[in-house]
């Protein structure tokens, strides 16, 4: 439909084209003006502008990372109510998952390992659980956490037929998932130090499992205590990411019936 502009009839299409051309010319003029202004800036100002362009995204990402880090640790700490130091406060469960760690530390007994084995044996002898599932790393030659735990528990009076080895507990997530998928346990007690129990209970309860933590004694060495607590605070955001992205256990396998004693064969 034609329009009348200054007593002249001009088609609408031509008006639109004129507007677009004017807008394009305006953008070009603005861009040219900005470039000219940039060229007039002293070198120090140019460097500051470039640095600002780099720093702003970095600071935004750092802020997101800090918030996520804090959220993961706050969330894991919220599960403290399910972790107990007192045996009498624990509910009775059929099984306990004993989380592994290296038996030795710099050619000496690892106190984290020793205290976990003491706690697991105490839990078993209290009658709160009937079976112990020792879950740990067996991914390297001459390194077998589940077998080391089994031997340590036998030495503490736990019958061999009540100990079941999970040789693919490469991470806390793996151990919690495999408790259900391999050993068919939906209610259990996790045995480890308190800081570790909170993450394990957090993971398993987010997976819909009814889990509780029995806290083994921590160690008094400031060096190892701070090191492991720092490591734990970094592991929690990783655990939250695993849950967000629904990561599965690294290895599957055949189901294990806790009614049948496990044949202890070292892979």
Check whether 266 has a pLDDT greater than 90.
no
Residue 67 pLDDT grade (very low, low, confident, very high; cuts 50, 70, 90): very high
Residue of 112, 177, 175 whose CA lies nearest to 148: 112
Mean pLDDT in the chain? 85
Check whether 153 has a pLDDT greater than 80.
yes
Q: What pLDDT is attached to residue 38?
A: 58
Check whether 71 has a pLDDT greater than 90.
no
**Percentage of residues in the chain having pLDDT higher than 90:** 57
Q: What fold is seen in the domain 76-244?
A: Rossmann fold (3.40.50)
The tokens describing 107, both together, are: 């050619």
**Percentage of residues in the chain having pLDDT higher than 70:** 81
Q: What pLDDT is attached to residue 111?
A: 93
Q: pLDDT digit string (tens) for 15-57?
A: 555 555 555 555 455 556 555 555 666 776 667 777 878 888 8
What is the C-alpha separation between 235 and 240, in angstroms, rounded?
9
The tokens describing 136, both together, are: 């740990």
Burial class (CB in 10 A: 0-12, 13-18, 19+), 107: exposed
The model carries a pTM of 0.77
**DSSP-derived 3-state class of residue 231:** helix
Q: pLDDT digit string (tens) for 194-226?
A: 999 999 999 999 999 999 999 999 988 777 778
For residues 166 and 175, the answer to whether their CB atoms sit within 8 Å is yes
Q: pLDDT digit string (tens) for 89-142?
A: 999 999 999 999 999 987 789 999 999 999 999 999 999 999 999 999 988 888
Q: Is the dihedral of CA 205, 208, 212, 215 positive or negative?
A: negative
Domain residues of the chain, as ranges?
1-40, 76-244
């Amino acid at each position: 439909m034609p329009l009348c502009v200054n007593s002249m009839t001009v088609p609408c299409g031509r008006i639109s084209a004129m507007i677009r051309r004017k807008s394009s010319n305006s953008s070009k003029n603005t861009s040219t003006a900005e470039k000219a202004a940039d060229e007039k800036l002293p070198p120090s100002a140019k460097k500051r502008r470039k640095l600002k362009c780099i720093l702003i995204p970095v600071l935004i990402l750092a802020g997101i990372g800090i918030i996520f880090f804090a959220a993961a640790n706050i969330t894991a700490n919220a599960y403290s109510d399910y972790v107990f130091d007192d045996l009498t406060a624990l509910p009775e469960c059929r099984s306990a998952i004993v989380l592994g760690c290296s038996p030795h530390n710099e050619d000496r007994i690892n106190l984290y390992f020793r205290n976990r084995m003491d706690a697991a044996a105490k839990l078993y002898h209290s009658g709160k659980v009937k079976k112990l599932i020792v879950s740990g790393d067996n991914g390297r030659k001459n390194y077998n956490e589940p077998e080391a735990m089994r031997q340590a528990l036998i030495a503490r009076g736990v019958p061999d037929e009540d100990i079941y080895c999970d040789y693919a507990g490469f991470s806390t997530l793996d151990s919690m998932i495999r408790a259900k998928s391999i050993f068919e346990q939906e209610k259990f007690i996790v045995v480890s130090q308190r800081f570790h129990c909170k993450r394990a209970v957090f993971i398993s309860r987010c997976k819909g499992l009814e889990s509780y933590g029995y806290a083994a004694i921590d160690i008094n060495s400031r060096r190892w205590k701070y090191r492991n607590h720092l490591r734990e605070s970094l592991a929690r955001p990783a655990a939250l990411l695993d849950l967000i992205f629904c990561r599965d256990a690294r290895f599957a396998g055949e189901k294990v019936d806790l009614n049948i004693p496990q044949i202890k064969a070292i892979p």
